[in-house]
Structure 1
Amino acid sequence: MTHFIVLVLALFIGVVAGLRTFTAPAVMAWAAALHWINLDGTWVQWLSHPVTVAVLTLLALGEFVTDQLPSTPNRTVPVQFIARIVAGGFAGAVLGTAWNYTWTSLGAAIIGAVIGTLGGFAARQRLVAANGGKDLPIALLEDGVAVLGGLAIAVLTSVV
């Protein structure tokens, strides 16, 4: 896979983390477990272990639930923002490791996480306003975009 394609996919997996923090690492864990990416002998080979996949999947599912709660802080507060950058960077580095582009993929994914966090926040605000203030349908739409986008990226890593 060319360096450019890996960087684009890393940028997009970062965007996914910007939308939903744990979805991007969970998707990369599933990609590794399903052998869509080869992480054998790398610093992150543990990601494909069934326990890791299960934990990250449960964290992602838990995030889908907690995102709907009115007490959940805004994604742009420092703790939430930093978590999305870290998760996105990690997922991008994992993706890049499969093709020996760890560091540049890390950088691309961090940029993607910032774009996903800020862009996702702005888009959600606009869509909720356009939807008469009803947040739940927009939150569920965002969940779907994150999951389907993450899966599309994982599938592309296996076929490109």
Structure 2
Amino acid sequence: MTQVLALLLALLIGVIAGLRAMTAPAVVAWGAMLGWIDVADKWSEWVGHPITVTVLSILLVGELITDQLPKTPSRKVPPQFIARLITGGFAGAVIGSAFFHTFSATGAGIVGAVLGTLAGAELRSRLGAANNGNDRPGAFLEDGIAVGGGFLVAFLVSFI
């Protein structure tokens, strides 16, 4: 049962990576630092270090800002899509490492990233169309879902 729940949370953190690539690694770093994700004496222990948390948090804030710019490329172009797969897999692996299921959780994170990327693009497109082409409200909504949902997933790891 523990493995199934860990894989489900790894999948969900992958979905978060599909919405915002840097959110997933940043929130698992915070989760590790706060003790929600047990990384002690594991390969992923470095993720909870304050320097790692700081760097990933800065990258997250930078992404939230640049996402609002009109020249930001689609998340579905290869570099953007690949970045989401990598960060989703990484964040899933960190969650999985707490339960010694790194490899399967990496896969779950990658699958979640695909789902989050495609669903997020579709949601933002529909919200933009409903707002006469203005996708900024959808972007802010997606930011909130990604950050809030990411922290929720990291927090839920502590209950497994």
TM-score interval for Structure 1 and Structure 2 normalised by the shorter chain: over 0.9
Matched position secondary structure for 2:158: helix
> What is the aligned partner in structure 1 of residue 27 from structure 2?
27
- Higher mean alpha-carbon deviation, 55-64 vs 129-138, is at 129-138
Q: Deviations over 1:26-79 (max 9, x none)?
A: 000000000111111111111111110000001001000000001111100000
Moved more, 11-20 or 42-51: 42-51
Task: Give the SS at the match of 2:6.
Answer: helix
Deviations 1:10-41 (A, max 9, x none): 00000000000000000000000001111111
**1:49-64 matches, cutoff 5 A:** 49-64=49-64
Q: Tell me how far apart the structure 1 counterparts of residues 39 and 8 of structure 2 sit (CA, whole Å).
A: 19
| Post-superposition CA distance 1:79-125 (Å, at most 9, x none) | 00000000000000000000111111001110000000011101110
> Which residue of the partner structure matches residue 110 of structure 2?
110
Q: What is the CA–CA distance in structure 2 between the aligned matches of 1:46 and 1:152, rounded to whole Å?
A: 21
Match of 1:11 in 2: 11
Q: Distance in 1 between matches of 2:22 and 2:30?
A: 12
> Partner amino acid for 1:72?
T
Q: Which residue of 1 aligns with 2:158?
A: 158
What is the match of residue 91 of structure 1?
91
The separation in 1 between residues aligned to 2:137 and 2:123, in whole angstroms, is: 13
TM-score between the two structures when normalised by the length of structure 1: 0.98
**2:134 corresponds to which residue?**
134
Structure 1 partner of 2:74: 74
Q: Which runs of 4+ in 1 moved over 4 A?
A: none
Aligned-residue Cα RMSD (Å) equals 0.9
Structure 2: where are the runs of 5+ without partners? none
Amino acid at match of 1:114: V
- Looking at structure 1, the residues matched to 18 and 58 of structure 2 have their Cα atoms a distance apart, in angstroms, of 18
